[in-house]
Structure 1
Amino acid sequence: MLKEVPVRTTRIRTLDQLHRGDHIEARLSVGPAYDDVVIRRGSVQETAPGIGVVWIMDQLSGLRKAINTDECTLWRVA
Structure 2
Amino acid sequence: MLKDVSAKPTRIRTLDQLHRGDQIEARLSVGPSYDDVVIRRGSVQETAPGIGVVWIMDQLTGLRKAINADECTVWRVA
The residue number in structure 2 matching 1:39 is: 39
Deviation at 1:2, TM superposition (A): 5.9
Structure 1, unmatched stretches of 5+, are none
Amino acid at match of 1:14: T
The CA RMSD over aligned residues, in Å, is 1.2
Equivalences for residues 1-78 of structure 1 within 5 A: 3-78=3-78
- Per the normalisation by structure 2, the TM-score is 0.93
**For 2:44, what is the secondary structure of its paired residue?**
strand
Displacement of 1:4: 4.5
CA distance in 1, matches of 2:67, 2:36: 16
- Offset, 1:8: 1.4
Q: Distance in 2 between matches of 1:4 and 1:56?
A: 24
Post-superposition, which runs of at least 4 consecutive aligned residues in structure 1 deviate over 6 A? none
What is the TM-score normalised by the length of structure 1? Answer: 0.93
Aligned length: 78
- Cα distance in 2 for residues equivalent to 1:55 and 1:6: 23
Cα displacement string for residues 3-57 of structure 1 (whole angstroms, at most 9, x for unaligned residues): 3434410000000000000000000000000000000000000000110000000
